[in-house]
Amino acid sequence: MLHHLGERLADRGGAAGPRILIYSHDTFGLGHLRRCRAIANRLVKARSDVSVVIISGSPIIGSFEFGDGVDYVRVPGVVKLPDGNYTTSSLSLDLEETVAMREAIIMATARTLKPDLLIVDKEPTGFRDELLPALALLKEMGTRIVLGVRDVLDEAATIVPEWERKGAVEALKRYYDHVWVYGLPEVHEPLAAFHLPAEIEDRILYTGYLRRELPPKPQSTRYPRLTREPFVLVTTGGGGDGEELIDWVLSAYEADPSIPVGALLVFGPFVHRDRRDNFVERMARLPKVDAITFDAKIEHLMSRSEGIVAMGGYNTFCEILSLDKRALIVPRRTPRLEQAIRAERAATLGLVSTLDGANLEPGARRDPQEMADAIRNLSRRPLPSLAFPPRLLDGLETIETVTRGWFEAVPVPAERSPA
């Protein structure tokens, strides 16, 4: 049963302000972390006495800036192998020992923080059920528990048996008070395939996509010379699965030097070193192409670009919409169809252009001229804002409004009120 927040604060000895715990399993890439960061920063901006702790396994969480009131706890990292299995990312421990360490850290954080709200990103039971003990503890303590899922999980044939195997629906029934879908039903209904009971359906709220703002830019930031002229930005997110897209773009400039705009490639921090070295060698012969490895504030480069070429993960899609940028999406089709489902629906709505993601399979025969023509045509596309459905980018506003209603019983201390 949910307890009144005022009663919970009194039980804590009067410590001021709501406490929020966000769990992000972060087994691969940057998407989960960036989504959680956007939500955390919005919540502390909305109310100055909120404290947010993010639990994350991302090895580069320290590269990102967080708002005042946000901190993080880093658990040992795990990575997904090409065969679908997992292993530790740094420690010389077996996976079971690593999961046990992660579970203990999560439990200790939950017990010490005593959060008023827990937001779980995507995985209802956590990685390898590591979240279940903390869920039981926090449910007993009266913490409000929310599952947040992106607009697309995967095709039904894959995600339904996967969630059944993990006991995800049972966890929803037992522990979760609300489900936030960070999208709109007009684009996709990620939980429709589960035929959930009415008691869970009633807990689902479509928030809209999470709008992104330009972050503060350090004065010392220096971008490659190429960005002084019109350019397209090619981004693969974390980069661990984006090598084939980079290869295709490079082949386009090799085959067609007349492409009128340059291309800035963002490899991502997880690109394989041998592939990156090969790309750099090829780029040395291409005057219209340059690259950087990573930019924690990539929104500035997106804003400056003529358009974006990407694989279409959730966060990149939000940034494309928020910055109203023309985009060419080439979605990967393995190990999940998430990007392909999103891209196909977005193209139908007139928000983006697409190329077949099957061309990203290793060994696929890609037509360099097809990519060259797609880049050339990008500037002729209408802006995505001309096709926006209502409430498309209301996600953070919706989350702020909902949580304000939960926390409004507690006054903001005068000395910490926003200026």
Beta bridge partners of 409: none
pLDDT digits (tens, 9 = 90+) for 314-352: 999 999 999 999 999 999 998 889 999 999 999 999 999
- Can you tell me the mean pLDDT for 98-113? 96
The domain defined by 5-211+393-416 carries CATH number 3.40.50.10240? no
**CA 390/CA 371 separation, integer angstroms:** 32
DSSP 259-317: -SSEEEEE--TTS-HHHHHHHHHHHTT-TTEEEES--TTTHHHHHHSSEEEE---HHHH
Homologous superfamily in CATH for domain 225-387: Glycogen Phosphorylase B; (3.40.50.2000)
Contact 104, 84 (CB under 8 A): no
* 253 in Cβ contact with 263 (< 8 Å): yes
- The torsion angle over the Cα atoms of residues 12, 17, 18 and 23, rounded to 10 degrees, is -100
Q: Quick one: pLDDT band at residue 60, thresholds 50, 70, 90?
A: confident
pLDDT tens column, 150-161: 999 999 999 999
369-390: per-residue pLDDT in tens? 999 999 999 999 999 999 999 9
Q: How far apart are CA 182 and CA 379, in angstroms?
A: 29
CA distance 290 to 322: 25
What is the DSSP secondary structure assignment for residue 242, as one 8-state letter?
-
DSSP 49-85: T-EEEEEE--TTGGGS---TTEEEEEPPPEEE-TTS-
Per-residue model confidence (pLDDT) at position 29? 58
Question: Same CATH topology for 5-211+393-416 and 225-387?
Answer: yes
CB-CB contact of 278 with 171 (8 Å): no
Q: For 152-197, how does the pLDDT look when each residue is reduced to its tens digit (9 = 90+)?
A: 999 999 999 999 999 999 999 999 999 999 999 999 999 999 989 9
pLDDT value at position 416?
A: 39
Kindly list the domain boundaries of the chain, sorted by start residue.
Answer: 5-211+393-416, 225-387
Per-residue pLDDT reduced to its tens digit, 203-212 = 999 999 999 9
Q: pLDDT grade, residue 219 (50/70/90)? A: low
Task: Give the model's confidence band at 417: pLDDT under 50 very low, under 70 low, under 90 confident, else very high.
Answer: very low
Residues 321, 397: Cα–Cα separation, whole Å: 16
pLDDT at 311: 95
